[in-house]
Copies of this chain bind each other. A is one copy, B any other.
């Protein structure tokens, strides 16, 4: 490690500020000057450590994206009883998004502007294998009669919708209803419980 202590500080500060700004404003909404100023460095540092703005962005993006997928896949593949698994799944989404509420819109924006790169990222995670595991589980439960006949895709899409959308919608809802972020968090905590009941009730035969 030939870097001085100050060097790694600068690098870390740039990363820290970039995470905040990129996630908040997207790639086009942030300039290298913004990052340099907010991190108390200068644009030359940014290019010295990260080669280009785009390169830095990719680092931040992959980080955010991997946070989203890793934790969720772990839950879905567990061997808990089905309704427990669903509950854990929803809990995991809400806990994750409480921690990083801006990530969904950040990722969705990227989907819209540069889908190819994202598809590559996802495919690294072997989505087909993981899908097969979940689909097998759903079929098994349908046969056992634990749940109504259900397509895995439809069910999965519903759970993901119910978990992610409230966070995308949050900033807007807060403004219209004129409540603070902390108050909206409380709404979401309650809503999480409602979603768990909602999905459970919809699935029970």
CB pair A176 B112 closer than 8 Å: no
A153 to B164, CA, bound (A): 16
Interface bracket on A? 35 or more
Residues of B close to A191: CB separation below 8 A: 153-154, 157
Number of this chain's copies in the assembly equals 2
CB pair A190 B154 closer than 8 Å: yes
CB pair B112 A194 closer than 8 Å: no
A174 (CB) vs chain B CBs: closest residue: B115
Residues of B close to A204: CB separation below 8 A: 201
Q: Mark A154-173, 1 if CB is under 8 A from B, else 0.
A: 10011011101110110110
Residues of B close to A190: CB separation below 8 A: 151, 154
Does A10 sit within 8 A of B, measured CB to CB?
no
Does A123 sit within 8 A of B, measured CB to CB?
yes
The 7 closest A-B pairs by CB, nearest first: A161-B165, A28-B28, A202-B202, A154-B194, A111-B172, A119-B175, A201-B202
